[in-house]
C-alpha cells in the first residue's frame, strides 16, 4: 500500500485571504507526484480536531473580523491541537492563523482574542501596516540553511517569548514586528509565519519539509522523499527574493 498523510484544514471558509488556500494545492500535488496519498479534511466551527487523526494541520490568514469569528472556537480545540503537535503532527499557520496560535491577539480597541498557546508568543495591533516582499534565512534542520521568500501585509506585531525559536532571520522586509529582525515562530514541527502569496508555490523545499514531518508522524520514521524537478518553482523563488532584496535589507 502506498503511504498516506491526513491533512486537517482549519476554517477554510473564513481564513483564506491572499489565496492562502493555494498552499494546500501545493502540498497535494507534491505528495501525488511521489505516489503519496493525500486525505484532505476540513475542520470548521463546532467540529473536533482529533489529535490522533491528522498528520498535518493548516490554517490560513484572515482579517480581524474573521479572526474574531473563529478565535473562541479555536480556543476549544487548543488542547487537542497541542496534543497533536506533541505527538509529531506538523502544522503550518499563516498570518491571522499564526497570530491565533500564540497566547492572544490584542486589537486596537484593547480587546483580546484568545489564542491556543501552541506557539510561545503574543500579538498586538499596530498603527501602520507592514507590507512588501520578504526574504528570510532559515535553518529548520541543523546545518541546512535555506532561503524563504514571500509577501507580508500585516498590522499586527508579534513578539516571541525569550528563548523562543523564530522561523527565520529577516534578510529584507519587516518580519514579526519590524524591530527584532526575526520572522515567524517554530515549536517542534509547528510553524507560524506572516508570509502570504501563497507561501509554498515559491518555496517547494518548505512544502517538502512539511510533507516529510507528516509522513514521519504517520510511518514512525523520517522518509526519503524523491527529488522533484523544481525549475519553475525555483524561478519563482528567485524573482520573489530579488524583489525583496530590492527593498533593501532592514536588519
**Catalytic residue among 9, 95, 138, 154, which?**
95
- The pTM score is 0.96
Residue 196 is among the residues annotated as catalytic for this protein: yes
Q: How does residue 17 score in pLDDT terms, banded at 50, 70 and 90?
A: confident
- Where are the domains positioned within the chain? 4-132+142-247
pLDDT tens column, 142-196: 999 999 999 999 999 999 999 999 999 999 999 999 999 999 999 999 999 999 8
Residue scoring higher pLDDT (203 or 108): 203
Q: How does residue 249 score in pLDDT terms, banded at 50, 70 and 90?
A: low
pLDDT tens column, 223-237: 999 999 999 999 999
Residue 95 is among the residues annotated as catalytic for this protein: yes
pLDDT tens column, 54-100: 999 999 998 889 999 999 999 999 999 999 999 999 999 999 999 99
Residues facing residue 40 across a β-bridge = 7
Q: How does residue 35 score in pLDDT terms, banded at 50, 70 and 90?
A: very high
d(CA 171, CA 189): 23
**Catalytic residue among 9, 54, 122, 196, which?**
196
d(CA 95, CA 217): 25
Mean pLDDT of 196-201: 92
Q: Is the pLDDT of residue 248 over 80?
A: no
What does the pLDDT read at residue 250? 60
pLDDT tens column, 111-129: 999 999 999 999 999 999 9
CATH of domain 4-132+142-247: 3.40.50.880
Amino acid at each position: 500500500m502506498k503511504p498516506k498523510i491526513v491533512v486537517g484544514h482549519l476554517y477554510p471558509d473564513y481564513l483564506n485571504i491572499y489565496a492562502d488556500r493555494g498552499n494546500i494545492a501545493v502540498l497535494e500535488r507534491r505528495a501525488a507526484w511521489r505516489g503519496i496519498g493525500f486525505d484532505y479534511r476540513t475542520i470548521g466551527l463546532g467540529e473536533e480536531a482529533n489529535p490522533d487523526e491528522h498528520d498535518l494541520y493548516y490554517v490560513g490568514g484572515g482579517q480581524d473580523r474573521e479572526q474574531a469569528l473563529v478565535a473562541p472556537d479555536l480556543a476549544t480545540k487548543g488542547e487537542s491541537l497541542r496534543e497533536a503537535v506533541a505527538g509529531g503532527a506538523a502544522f503550518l499557520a499563516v498570518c491571522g492563523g499564526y497570530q491565533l496560535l500564540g497566547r492572544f491577539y490584542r486589537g486596537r480597541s484593547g480587546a483580546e482574542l484568545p489564542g491556543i498557546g501552541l506557539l510561545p508568543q503574543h500579538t498586538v495591533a499596530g498603527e501602520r501596516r507592514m507590507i512588501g516582499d520578504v526574504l528570510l534565512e532559515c535553518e529548520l534542520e541543523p546545518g541546512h540553511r535555506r532561503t524563504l521568500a514571500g509577501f507580508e501585509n500585516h498590522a499586527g506585531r508579534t513578539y516571541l517569548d525569550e528563548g523562543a525559536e523564530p522561523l527565520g532571520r529577516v534578510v529584507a522586509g519587516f518580519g514579526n514586528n519590524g524591530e527584532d529582525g526575526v520572522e515567524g515562530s517554530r515549536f517542534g514541527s509547528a510553524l507560524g509565519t506572516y508570509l502570504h502569496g501563497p507561501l509554498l508555490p515559491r518555496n517547494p523545499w518548505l512544502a517538502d519539509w512539511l510533507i516529510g514531518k507528516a509522513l514521519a508522524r504517520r510511518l514512525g520514521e523520517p522518509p526519503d522523499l524523491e527529488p522533484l524537478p523544481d525549475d519553475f518553482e525555483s524561478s519563482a523563488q528567485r524573482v520573489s527574493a530579488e524583489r525583496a532584496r530590492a527593498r533593501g535589507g532592514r536588519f
